[in-house]
Structure 1
Amino acid sequence: MSFFDFFFPEQAQASHLRSIAESQRLQSHQDGQRQFREERDRRWESSRSQVLEKRVEQLENDLGQAGLIIESLLQLLEESGTIKRDEVMKRAIAVDLADGVQDGKLTPPEIANRARPFISHRKWNQA
């Protein structure tokens, strides 16, 4: 207990109550800011999710249209006798293997190179 507290207890108590009120006001302000940030982040994630869902839907539509066009072209070429479907399948397998990864799609070089195992060109038993 300080000298001031001993001789002026009411003023000391008032001062102490003011400091408690101030710390509670600061805590309340910090809580409000935290809640604001959480709500802002939640809304941003929600809008981002909606944008991604719309983009996925658009990509699915684009892929469906591309598949329709490709199938139509294959049927026309097959009907005209220009190519046979099994020739297209053989060519697709050859093109797929050309990138070094048999995965049923065109693989970008940076991914294809990671999929290949490391093969040393050095003879380790020779100095």
Structure 2
Amino acid sequence: MILTDGLRSAVAAVRLWFSPARIREEGATPDYRFSLANERTFLAWLRTGLALVGGGFAVDQFLPRLHPGVRLAFTLVLLVGGALCALRAVNHWVRCERAMRRGEDLPVSRFPTALALAVGVLAVAVVVLVLLGWTG
């Protein structure tokens, strides 16, 4: 029952991604400056996702002498991170827009911290591999 309710809630949230007009039905229209700031944040997250995808392709193409398993792992982490950023962007945009319309506090997320830690660990790992000469 709980899983079903959670799944129903998740499906309803994803449906809002594709019907922003339904969001307008909730609450009062916020100050346009806040909606535009929310949109700029959304676009910044999309740029971050695209950068991660580009980094994944760069690791795959420009570190050919790296152990294939390590190269594949780095590539996949970056590509999956880029995909998660894009999904998180739209989800966060919808959640913030709904909160502003309802007069609620903006939602908080652990995603930025997790993303920063993952990118930092990956960057340190690449630096170590380069210093050890494992990248050719």
Q: TM-score, normalised by structure 2?
A: 0.28
| Bigger Rg over Cα | 1
Q: TM-score, normalised by structure 1?
A: 0.29
User: Which one scores higher on RCO, CA 8 angstroms, separation ≥ 6?
Assistant: 2
